[in-house]
Amino acid sequence: MTRIPKAEFARRRRALMGEMAAGSIAILPAAPVRHRNRDIEYAYRQDSDFQYLTGFPEPEAVLALIPGREYGEYVLFCREKDPEVELWEGERVGPEDAVRHYGADDAFPISDIHDILPGLIEGRERVYYAIGANPDFDRQLFDWINLIRAKANQGAQPPKELVALDPLIHEARLFKTAAEIRVIREAAAISVQAHRRAMQACRAGLREYHLEAELDYAFRKGGARMTAYGSIVASGRNACIMHYQRNDALLKDGDLVLIDAGCELDCYASDVTRTFPVSGVFSPEQKVLYEIVLAANEAAFGYIAPGRNWDEAHAATVRIITEGLVDLGLLRGTVDALIEQGAYREFYMHRAGHWLGLDVHDVGDYRIGDEWRMLEPGMAMTVEPGIYVHPDNRNVARKWRGIGIRIEDNVVVNRQGYEVLTDGVPKAVDEIERLMADARRATE
């Protein structure tokens, strides 16, 4: 069971059915089990849309929503109870408890889906479905529809339209409820503890994965069994690789280490980055670049409030980073022209943030037509400006090369403006140095 109340899942399904045209059915499969090698499976992670609508934690399940169906609008197909299999693989919910605990109006064994689902589709004008998202299931669905077509001469009515289901769900997912915000806040709080722990444990001579171990310990100790994405622990020049995953380099005095890591709680993500010196003290070059990124991070919050558009915070970070790089001589020219040309992209090649939710890069449109989307209460996002000086950049003085810095926080828009969920990890230079110095003193 998840921290999201059962009644909220029912509200989500009701809202979706309210958006569907009359005479329709929505069909959504659970995420399949994926194999890592031979008979070893990856840790199972439910499909985010399926999770959003059901909270049902198992693979081999299919949701059907049939607005107006007399015998129940929410039908779930799932694995049957089987004591012999459960002895090896763990408990299954089973159709009876799917009704009792997960709010299904009707639940059937997944093995019966071929006999039952075509009958539920038959006579419905439209099928809402995430077309192309799962090729195996696409084929399956078309087989069922063909089965109905084959009986047309007996009066069977196949559906006439396939409609994309995901845009409807994704628009709803963009607006987080109070219960969802509580879960994201809790995930962020666990990640805050993990980042503090890694900063405190950092010593030259350790390897990046030793800090990853500190993160993993804190995540699980805090109650989050999974990370929301592969943790990035990138020291020195590795910080200039955006999706660095090796995490095996030696931590050296004089280098910075960038940690981008967040846990997942009940499928909700947190996504936090801090950058700090291996030695516990920033060098002058590291500090001056760091202060620019920090100023950009802090300035962005001034543009997060209802009525601001999605791009304003990003634009603020671009201006501060461009100004800072000009001041230091890493960029040459006038700030406006450099922004216009996008010259900052050599050093700051990503956007200042993204939506956050059941997916770390969460769903929801950033633009409506030609316009940037306006921020509204309930939207959750990251703020994550950065500066990365490529190690081989010959246009800048050697002392800057190979420095990579990002500072990433998680934020929820509310009526007053915003709430930062991750300010428990220090980000000011003196606060970071103090936390690290205190930790070293304590272990001397």
Among 186, 214, 255, 384, which one carries the catalytic annotation?
Answer: 384
- Number of chain residues interacting with ligand GLY (CB under 6 A): 7
Instruction: State which residue, 76 or 360, has the beta carbon closest to ligand GLY.
Output: 360
Supply the DSSP string of 93-142, one letter for each residue. Answer: -HHHHHHHHH--SEEEEGGGHHHHHHHHHTT-SEEEE-TTS-HHHHHHHH
Q: Which is nearer to ligand GLY, 193 or 273 (CB)?
A: 273
What does the alpha-carbon distance between residue 425 and residue 434 come to, in Å, rounded to a whole number? Answer: 12
| 260 part of the interface to ligand GLY, by CB under 6 A | yes
Angle, vertex CA 438, rays to CA 432 and CA 442, nearest 5: 150
Contacts of 318 (CB under 8 A, 6+ apart): 339, 344, 348, 352
Q: Does an H or E element contain 420, and which?
A: strand 418-420
Based on the residue annotation, tell me whether 390 is a catalytic residue of this protein: no
Using rule CB under 6 A, residue 271 touches ligand GLY: yes
CB 259 within 8 A of CB 192: no
- DSSP for 245-308, please give it: ----PBP-TT-EEEEEE-EEETTEE--EEEEEETTSS--HHHHHHHHHHHHHHHHHHTT-STT-
Check residue 214 for interaction with ligand GLY (CB under 6 A).
no
Dihedral of alpha carbons 344, 345, 347, 350, sign: positive
User: Is residue 433 annotated as a catalytic residue, yes or no?
Assistant: no
Give the interface with Mn ion as residue ranges (CB under 5 A). 260, 271, 382, 408
Residues found in the chain? 444
408 belongs to the catalytic site: yes
Work out how close the CB of 241 gets to Mn ion at its nearest, in angstroms, rounded to a whole number. Answer: 13
Catalytic-residue membership of 271: yes
Catalytic one among 45, 182, 319, 350? 350
Question: Does the annotation count 365 as an active-site position?
Answer: no
253 catalytic residue (yes or no): no
361 is catalytic: yes
8 Å CB contact between 366 and 372:
yes
Question: Considering the rule CB under 6 A, would residue 384 count as an interface residue with ligand GLY?
Answer: yes
To the nearest whole angstrom, how small is the minimum distance from the Cβ of residue 243 to Mn ion? 10
* Single-letter amino acid code for the residue at 261: A
275 near 404, Cβ under 8 Å?
Answer: yes
* Identity of the residue, 93 or 239, whose beta carbon is nearer to Mn ion in the bound complex: 239
39 is catalytic: yes
CA-wise closest residue to 418 among 428, 410, 430, 408? 410
Work out how close the CB of 320 gets to ligand GLY at its nearest, in angstroms, rounded to a whole number.
Answer: 19
Instruction: Identify whether 243 is a catalytic site residue.
Output: yes
CB 288, min distance to ligand GLY, A: 24
What does 229 bind: ligand GLY, Mn ion, none (CB cut-off 5 to 8 Å by kind)? ligand GLY
| Residue 237 DSSP code | G
180 binds, among ligand GLY, Mn ion, none (CB under 5 to 8 A by kind): none
Smallest gap from Cβ 262 to ligand GLY, in A, equals 7
Q: Say whether 384 is catalytic.
A: yes
The answer to whether 212 contacts ligand GLY (rule: CB under 6 A) is no
Distance CA 346, CA 39 (A): 44
Under rule CB under 6 A, residue 229 binds ligand GLY: yes
Residue 175: name the closest of 344, 315, 333, 376 by CA: 376
Least distance to ligand GLY from the beta carbon of 232, Å? 7
- Compare residues 98 and 184 and give the one whose CB is closer to ligand GLY: 184
Site for ligand GLY in 348-367 (CB under 6 A): 354, 360
Among 101, 332, 345, 361, the active-site one is 361
Residues assigned a catalytic role: 39, 243, 260, 271, 350, 354, 361, 384, 388, 406, 408
Residues that bind ligand GLY (CB under 6 A): 229, 260, 271, 354, 360, 384, 408
